[in-house]
A and B are shown apart, each in its own frame.
Chain A
């Protein structure tokens, strides 16, 4: 089953001569355990694609399916529940609440969903532990490095039974070594924990962590990468003379 499926999704803002087409008939599928990158320049429609995939916005036309459910048919309440329980978001600027510790930031979405404080805390500590942050549970965001903050944000996006991670330039604010660590975590979450991740980025190095890269230009998916033939093909090249 596809965790996320976009069928012929279009989105436009404004009307008449002021109409802007942010997305044009975008079709995109991400299966369970897959990491898909959507690569494009600023203004190509990347963030719109992500907000529509995350049911934060309705497409002008086309269908969005999350975990096999046609989101158009869901009530407002059911959609909110889908967002709380199935979808996790990771943003470039982390979006952690400054007055809460790492553990409190991670447990918050569960508590908002009605999970008891004690159970939410246990789940939060587990999620932090899984990302190598058990020693930082009581730290506040301003006491942590950028890389640690983004790992807390990933723990928050994965906590509970969430299966679809939507990440918007998740390592844009980090140096290249920390950025790589974040992408490595996201890829491991897909490979080992069966999460599905859709990462939008303009950065080819980050996109290269994905199993598949779709190229977005002017609101259209114009191309995508073929499945990789395997790394060994690069290591048996003939020596350069």
Chain B
């Protein structure tokens, strides 16, 4: 989440005060991403340093200091909106790691591990759904932000479902390699394609 560009977007409407920017940021993101005052002022100072916003210029920091976007700031905002975020390399996902590791740890039931994570994710989704039901009303920003979170969690649940089905099928076919490192299939497996070995990690 780029707080920097969110500030530029808010200032593209009209000049605003720092405190106002914080309140509007939280309202626009459906209060899903709280922001502290320190983050707001640090971000504004950097934007000003980079010539993307201008302040009232009276030198006094505080809630009453006004900010406005510059022409360079508007260009930067337009460029950012159209630039896809870098999704080309998979993130180092802790949950994926845990399942992959669980396959090889003796006396660990990978299905139980998968289910523990699935239950946690569905419980989280229930909480987000309650927000949608009870608090969101017609607040489009909040609905979109909550939807995004629900779809993200849903994708993880679906990956777990698929992982479980694959593990089950592999066990039925006798091709599992967990714990039994001597599996002939495991020993003769071809090396990963180069591009997969070189997969970078974000974060």
Q: Which of B122, B124, B133, B134 has the most CB of A within 10 A?
A: B122
Knowing A208-B129, A229-B127, the reply to whether A213 touches B122 (Cβ < 8 A) is: yes
Knowing A223-B119, A231-B127, A234-B128, the reply to whether A204 touches B34 (Cβ < 8 A) is: no
Chain B residues at the A interface, C-beta cutoff of 8 Å: 1, 31-36, 39, 111, 115, 118-119, 121-131, 133-135, 150-151, 153-154, 157-158, 161, 164-165
B36 with A225: CB separation less than 8 A: no
8 A Cβ contacts from A188-217 to B: 202-205, 207-210, 213, 215, 217
Interface of A is mostly: loop
Interface of B is mostly: helix
Closest chain-A Cβ to B6's Cβ sits at a distance in Å of 13
A39 with B122: CB separation less than 8 A: yes
Chain A residues at the B interface, C-beta cutoff of 8 Å: 39, 41, 184, 187, 202-205, 207-210, 213, 215, 217, 222-226, 228-231, 233-241
Which B residues touch A239, using CB under 8 A? Answer: 33-36, 39
Complexed CA–CA distance, A213 and B161 (Å): 15
A231 with B153: CB separation less than 8 A: no
Which B residues touch A234, using CB under 8 A? Answer: 124, 127-128, 131
Which B residues touch A202, using CB under 8 A? Answer: 161
Complexed CA–CA distance, A240 and B39 (Å): 10
Closest chain-B Cβ to A178's Cβ sits at a distance in Å of 14
Complexed CA–CA distance, A41 and B168 (Å): 12
Closest chain-B Cβ to A12's Cβ sits at a distance in Å of 20
Closest chain-A Cβ to B49's Cβ sits at a distance in Å of 20
B119 with A240: CB separation less than 8 A: no
Q: 9 A-B residue contacts at CB 8 Å?
A: A207-B125, A213-B122, A215-B115, A234-B124, A234-B128, A235-B32, A235-B131, A236-B34, A239-B34
Which A residues touch B134, using CB under 8 A? Answer: 231
